[in-house]
Amino acid sequence: MQLATIVHQPVPSMPANLESNTKLPAKSATEPQVVALKKAPVTAQQPTGEEVVIDEVVTIPPKLIAQNVPPAQSNTTQQVTKLPKTASRLPWAVCVGVALIAAGSLLRFLAFR
């Protein structure tokens, strides 16, 4: 109830006697405290302190089980055939420059040998 009054919205709640089950570590899904939590009724707590059925305040979206037909392609999507030119030739020029300096240094080294 404290959380519901703080946020001014209904919040899901469970019976208070199951609070101790949430503090124990579970090693398997078949332990008694886990089974008790699975079977516990979940309700919603209003900010006024009133307890209501969870379906009145929380809307669960429907599950999509299977879809036989693929979604239709919309005509608004544009097919990009060419990418825009955003790169420059500067990196290429730097690589050529470094290669020429390395070649010149190598030739100079070999000439003085």
CA angle, corner 51, sides to 50 and 53, nearest 5?
A: 135
User: Which residues, 6 or more positions from 52, have their beta carbon under 8 angstroms from its beta carbon?
Assistant: 10, 43, 44, 46
Tell me if 56 sits within 8 A of 65, measured CB to CB: no
| pLDDT tens over the chain, length 113 residues | 578 888 888 888 877 777 777 777 888 888 888 888 888 888 888 888 888 888 778 777 777 777 677 766 666 555 667 877 888 889 999 999 999 999 999 999 999 87
Counting Cα atoms < 13 Å in the Cβ hemisphere of 71 gives 3
pLDDT of residue 64: 74
Q: What is the pTM of this model?
A: 0.41
